[in-house]
Amino acid sequence: MPIVAGIDVGTQSTKVICYDSEARKILATSQAPHELISRDDGSREQRAEWWITAMKSCFSSIDPKLKEKIAAIGVSGQQHGFVPLDAEGNVLYPVKLWNDTSTTEECDLITECAGGKPSLLEKEGNLILPGYTAPKILWFKRNEAELYKKLATILLPHDYINFWLTGETTMEYGDASGTALLDIRTRSWSKRMLACIDNDRDVEKLLPRLIEAHMPSGKVTLQAAKVLGIPAGIPVSSGGGDNMMGAIGTGTVTDGTLTMSLGTSGTIFGASNKPIIDPAGLLAAFCSSTGIWLPLLCTMNCTVASEVTRKLFEKGVVEFDKEAHQAPIGAEGVIMLPYFNGERTPNYPHGKGCLVGFDLHNMTERNISRAALESAIYGLKIGLDSFKELGYEAKEIRLIGGGAKSPVWRQMVADVCDLPVVVPTITEAAAFGGALQALWCLEHTEGRPTTIEAIVADHVILDRSAGCTPNNEAVRAYAKSYENYKKYVSTVEPIFS
């Protein structure tokens, strides 16, 4: 069986893995960091060429003999980013990212145009939130009018990497659903949403053709092959957003499975054979990158909370975890609202980080440290509650992301969510998902069609020895603290929404 490569273009870095599908092991991994442009208006941007530079750096560190054996590539990318191209394929403006909150006014304009939030949920299935792509396009139209006139193609981050590799512009349904321009029930572009962006121009002509998840986006060009040192002509799969690829990499491809990711952002998502629309609008009604649906909750601040707190107290990761673990569950009433980047769920684009619940006795380093950890999980517990309310029952949580490496955090997830936690043996779930989707694509292009479920069953292995089961006493204690947390969340709504 062949060697396939997975590329993950994340917020902080690009990662590349080479996976031997016969030996079922990763043969090489590499990583290169990205910069981030941040402004006080909530802007969070990157230059697309930084991703290419990082990808080149990653491939340059891989053994040339191994690169020559790569048979297919799959690309994962941070969701929702707006990559505007002119007619020659040049990027017109820095990429506004998923955590950019400068488009709140555009969100309101599109929502009003669409007839309000109930209408959006009824027809397209998703609200218009600052993280999504749609308001970024309208922002570009309103703030960069001359550049907007030159706009010829709208891509998402992983689509742009596919374009650089193949010269072809495509989009698949999973990442496309995160634009808020797709009717997720019919899996087709919403005419009225496109008209809300620009009623004088056919925005659909700016969007690339939609392809099914198992289809190739194109083949590696001679130029890209020469630059990266890989074979020309090998297929590049459709790819997908990082959460969609993470679902593949953790085996969340069949109805009822659930994954939680503890990274810069926090996500909880589950595979579903039918669209799941949350009437409260907390769960995003996304499509998957496997041909089904992937209802998902995303918070913009997850490991952000622990990282800024750890730096404040000048602690290493192990020291920080130890300090937090010494505080009791609930941190003696100290609660953190970790809205350092604003927040998407709840929809608090003007959010700021808060510490509340102090008295004369509980204002300690260990309580603040524990509150930082707990807040990230409480934010995702809101999503789990929504899944349960909609009749989606999960038997376990598959945990990925940087936070999954912490035993303290793993046990906390199990106790807060009252579910067993398991950890995949391959922790780079998004890049691994890209590699497995590439294998799926390769099988189809070579006339050996198979299912993504079969591929996942063969290649995704869960390390249950690193898992955790809920402790009943801890479950009860966290439940009380979580109710306290939700009171504070609702209290700050008038300030941050």
Q: How far apart are CA 341 and CA 101, in angstroms?
A: 8
Mean pLDDT, range 200-215, rounded to an integer? 97
pLDDT band of 341, cuts 50, 70, 90: confident
Q: Could you tell me which of 330, 380, 382, 384 has the C-alpha nearest to residue 357?
A: 330
The predicted pLDDT at position 296 comes to 95
Domain 253-427+461-497 classified CATH 1.10.10.10? Answer: no
Do 253-427+461-497 and 3-252 have the same topology in CATH? yes
Active-site residue among 242, 278, 321, 415?
A: 242
Catalytic residue status for 200: no
pLDDT of 112-140, one tens digit each? Answer: 999 999 999 999 999 999 999 999 999 99
Predicted local confidence at residue 96, as pLDDT? 98
- CA 443 to chain CA mean position, Å: 26
383-404 b/e with 16+ CB inside 10 Å = b?
bbbbbeebebebebbbbbbbbb
Contact assessment for residue 140 and residue 222, using Cβ atoms and an 8 Å cutoff: no
Q: What is the DSSP letter of 342?
A: B
Helix (H/G/I), strand (E/B), else coil: 274: coil
Identify whether the C-beta of residue 236 lies closer than 8 Å to the C-beta of residue 217: yes
CATH of domain 3-252: 3.30.420.40
Report the pLDDT value the prediction gives residue 264, as an integer from 0 to 100.
82
* pLDDT for 58: 98
Does the structure show a pLDDT above 80 at 1?
no
- In this prediction, residue 394 carries a pLDDT of 87
Rounded to whole angstroms, the Cα distance separating 126 from 207 reads: 19
Instruction: Give the phi and the psi of residue 105 in degrees, each rounded to 5.
Output: -65, -40
* CA angle at 277 for the pair 273 and 279, rounded to the nearest 5°: 155
Question: In whole angstroms, how far apart are CA 419 and each of 256, 385, 394, 396, 469?
Answer: 14, 12, 8, 5, 7
pLDDT, tens only, 272-296? 999 999 999 899 999 999 999 999 9
Give the residues across from 74 on adjacent strands: 6
Q: pLDDT category, 15, cuts 50, 70, 90?
A: very high
| Region 210-226 average pLDDT | 98
Long-range contacts of 491-495 (CB under 8 A, 24+ apart): 492/337, 492/348, 492/351, 492/354, 493/346, 493/348, 495/350
Burial class (CB in 10 A: 0-12, 13-18, 19+), 247: buried
Q: Mean pLDDT over all residues of the chain? A: 95
Give residue-wise pLDDT tens across range 138-162.
999 999 999 999 999 999 999 999 9
Q: Does 184 score more than 80 pLDDT? A: yes
Sequence spans of domains, the chain: 3-252, 253-427+461-497
- Dist CA 134 CA 181 (whole Å): 6
